[in-house]
Structure 1
Amino acid sequence: MTFVTGEHTTYYKPICKSNQLICGYGHIALITGWTVKQTLVKHLSPKEFAVIGNLYSPTRGITPLIRNLLANPHVRFVVILNATQEDKNAGACDCLLDFFRNGFQEGKSDTGRKCWLINSETKGYIDFEIDAKALDILRNSIRWEEVKTISEAVSRVKFFSQNKNVEAWGNPLEFKEVVTISHVLPGSRYGHRIEGQTIAETWIKILHKIRKTGTIRNTEYGEWQELIDIMAIVTDEPSDFYFPEPNYLSIERQNLQNYIEQMLSDLSSQEGVEYTYGKRLRSWFKQDQIEQVIKKLTLDINSSRAVMSLWDVHDHEGNDNPPCLNHIWLRVVENELSLTATFRSNDMFSAWPANAMGLRALQQHILDNINQRASYSLKMGPLITVSQSAHIYSDCWEYADRLIDEQYAKICQKRDFNDPSGSFVITLQNNTIIVEHTTPGTGEIVNCYTGKSARKLYQQIASNCPSLQVEHAMYLGTELQKAEIALSNSQTYLYIQDQPLSILTKAIKPVG
């Protein structure tokens, strides 16, 4: 089989993630890493390339790339643009280069599934269902080059495209793909509150919530599972950040500082990188918004106007990559500085932990500056993120499920029984169930319910306290039912809260 440029062309036919690729008629694959692919396509004609696409993850992105190359054997050249700080952090392009350089070996993925493990310092997988001989043929049949700039990438593509007669290395190959099946439980689609002490704990709870009740949707970016408006509250993340051992977060500690700099600093523009959050906050609108909110709260600690906006009205006009983070609001309540951030779209598996850590660093930066400039001793309050489209991509489901299986039960066992809605003291007095509602911490009585029916009592409590934690509400139902049983059988049972029903001594009949 011969591929010939000119009138006789072969169109690139991807079998994976076709809606995320720009396809042409050439014999060169241009891998752009984290650089926006539209930045390169405007310098090339469709006859000069076979496909242009991003590569974000070494564990999830290389397999579909390899599957597509095997299905399109007329592609004989691969140009890999490894240019940005994000590429360095992710390591996906480095791992792909190591696939061509060093090959692969049999191994296991983080989920324990058998896979081809790329011989690289960066962990990268290829599906085990792809034949090893086919992978070796591909490695030996493709000429690859690494480039560091957009201009160099364009130049090399144009150079390789001058080859007029390029023979395909074989016939198109396709291999079985294992699909993760989701079993979705019924649940509310809109508005979800999740709270944890650390980012790691909160993240596992988020993954569990989405995987159990999220709606599965096909989108222009592929299949994902989604909930609308997840409000995640992180209460006690340490200043140096908590990384579990071994680390199961989707960010490594050694990459964190680079991400924080992108959040806090007005980094110089780089072609192919449309924006950073720091640039949007520091200079995009000709104002340093971070400095503005510091000054605002320094002068008026009670201000509700400490707002930063990242959405530009021009983002509606032809911007294929507008910012996901759109709005940040800071507020001081009872000497605590909280930060609330709103994301229009949020990749909860791959991006949320880094997003949360970057925002927490921003919160700390603002707090430190306010305390330094004024006679305040503010403390760090909670970090709140509102993720409007909170989703997990289908190629992350297996990894998310493994983390849920390994970590969620452990997190649920860490009970502190501190419900912000307060506590309830249940007693039996004068042939009546008495329920005293007390404040958390001080135990001040704020309400009192009386009656003989557990059902009527819990209905009243539920009506007045709609934010009761689920386990607390179920506990109350259990205790109220015990109290009603004891009340109805007062000659037989004694009710004491948090203890099994006691059988009264006089109710025990003598034997014989």
Structure 2
Amino acid sequence: MENNVSNSTENTTSIPNVPYQPLVVKGKSLGEAWENAVRIMMYQGFNRFIKAPEYQTWTKDSPMFIMVDNPAEQPRFSSKAPITQEIADDYSNKMLNGMDKEKENSFDYTYYSRLRHYPDCIVRAGMPNVSDDSEMKDYVNKVCDGRCVVQRIDQVEKVIDIFRKDPTRRTAVMHTWIPMRDLAKFTPDRKDTSSPCLVICHPQIAEDKLHFNIVMKTNDLFSAWPGNAYAFTTLQKYMADQLGIGVGHYTHFSVSMQVYEEVYETARSV
């Protein structure tokens, strides 16, 4: 979930210096963890001025780990969060089950499409780690007559299948990144597009429970995290149910967790 922010005028003299460092937050439930995270970010978050082409604004911005003991227990979002039960359920359902094709394709990306319809080329799977252009061309010709054969991968079901065969497996990684698309932000073809904030989902089974570890490149802590965490832990429960085990810990790491200046006053009241 992404949110628009208002324009702001940079004024570096009005904001005290705070060290840039990772912040660690714990909570028993998603709701408690979010409240703790917002308070810590507003108190210890790094003051960062964003100069993106589409907006300029101050943020509280730090790497942040949020660790939740019981993500399936209530409250799954705080009463102070800008989200309703209806919105949370709708968002998580769309992430898990998708929308109709026309709606899915109207977005630059959706987590459903990246996790459950991920496009990959069978040529890439067996390609040498390093090769020059001529070697790569020879390899592609050998494997598929010079054509890239694209397949759609349901990473969720593949991971479930892996764990059914080996619950101790540590390679059950789901990811969303398509480098040729997502690293092309400022190229002519991708000038106004966005890339997924969720990068990696790495579940693990221990003590007969499915533990979820999430990595995001950036995350709007105040406005988007409640919905993101609700949806990701809904996916966690779905996978745990499919495996016939319990729901374990939820660990959410954002490399750039932020609170935008336009909600500072509201965030300080949490």
TM-score w.r.t. length of structure 2:
0.75
What SS is found at the alignment partner of 1:237? coil
Structure 1 residue 334 and structure 2 residue 166: aligned? no
Query: Residue 327 of structure 1 aligns to which amino acid in structure 2?
Result: I
- Residues 324 and 343 of structure 1 are in contact (CA less than 8 Å); yes or no, is this contact kept in structure 2? yes
2:163 paired residue number: 297
Equivalent of residue 387 in structure 1, options 246, 254, 258: 254
> Relative to 1, partners in 2 of residues 1:242 and 1:345: Cα closer, same or farther, differing over 3 Å?
closer
Query: Residue 39 of structure 2 aligns to which amino acid in structure 1?
Result: H
- Residues 222 and 393 of structure 1 are in contact (CA less than 8 Å); yes or no, is this contact kept in structure 2? no
Structure 1 residue 346 and structure 2 residue 219: aligned? yes
Could you list the runs of 5+ residues in structure 1 that have no partner in the other structure?
A: 1-33, 37-55, 65-176, 372-377, 404-512
The number of equivalent residue pairs is: 223
2:236 paired residue number: 363
Structure 1 residue 190 and structure 2 residue 21: aligned? yes
> Relative to 1, partners in 2 of residues 1:305 and 1:269: Cα closer, same or farther, differing over 3 Å?
farther
Deviations 1:339-392 (A, max 9, x none): 001000111111011110001000000000111xxxxxx221111110100111
What SS is found at the alignment partner of 2:22? strand
Could you list the runs of 5+ residues in structure 2 that have no partner in the other structure?
A: 120-151
- Residues 184 and 213 of structure 1 are in contact (CA less than 8 Å); yes or no, is this contact kept in structure 2? no
1:231 paired residue number: 65
- Residues 46 and 62 of structure 2 are in contact (CA less than 8 Å); yes or no, is this contact kept in structure 1? no
Query: Residue 254 of structure 1 aligns to which amino acid in structure 2?
Result: E
What SS is found at the alignment partner of 1:396? helix
Distance 1:201 1:241 in 2: 8
Distance 2:92 2:75 in 1: 12
Distance 2:168 2:18 in 1: 42
2:128 paired residue number: none
- Residues 250 and 354 of structure 1 are in contact (CA less than 8 Å); yes or no, is this contact kept in structure 2? no
Equivalent of residue 255 in structure 1, options 84, 87, 97: 87
What SS is found at the alignment partner of 2:263? helix
Superposed displacement of residue 291, structure 1: 0.3
> Relative to 1, partners in 2 of residues 1:280 and 1:240: Cα closer, same or farther, differing over 3 Å?
farther
TM-score w.r.t. length of structure 1:
0.41
RMSD: 2.6
- Residues 185 and 212 of structure 1 are in contact (CA less than 8 Å); yes or no, is this contact kept in structure 2? no
- Residues 32 and 75 of structure 2 are in contact (CA less than 8 Å); yes or no, is this contact kept in structure 1? no
- Residues 59 and 258 of structure 2 are in contact (CA less than 8 Å); yes or no, is this contact kept in structure 1? yes
Query: Residue 313 of structure 1 aligns to which amino acid in structure 2?
Result: P
> Relative to 1, partners in 2 of residues 1:365 and 1:184: Cα closer, same or farther, differing over 3 Å?
farther
Distance 2:167 2:229 in 1: 24
> Relative to 1, partners in 2 of residues 1:241 and 1:402: Cα closer, same or farther, differing over 3 Å?
closer
Structure 1 residue 402 and structure 2 residue 236: aligned? no
Deviations 1:309-341 (A, max 9, x none): 101112112443000001000101122210001
Superposed displacement of residue 265, structure 1: 1.9
Aligned ranges 1:2-13 → 2 under 5 Å: none
Distance 2:58 2:68 in 1: 25
Structure with more relative contact order (C-alpha pairs < 8 Å, separation 6 or more): 2
Aligned ranges 1:344-493 → 2 under 5 Å: 344-371=217-244, 378-403=245-270
Superposed displacement of residue 238, structure 1: 3.3
Distance 2:212 2:16 in 1: 32
- Residues 191 and 229 of structure 1 are in contact (CA less than 8 Å); yes or no, is this contact kept in structure 2? yes
Query: Residue 247 of structure 2 aligns to which amino acid in structure 1?
Result: M
Distance 2:228 2:58 in 1: 19
Deviations 1:112-148 (A, max 9, x none): xxxxxxxxxxxxxxxxxxxxxxxxxxxxxxxxxxxxx
Structure 1 residue 206 and structure 2 residue 37: aligned? yes
- Residues 72 and 233 of structure 2 are in contact (CA less than 8 Å); yes or no, is this contact kept in structure 1? no
Superposed displacement of residue 229, structure 1: 2.2
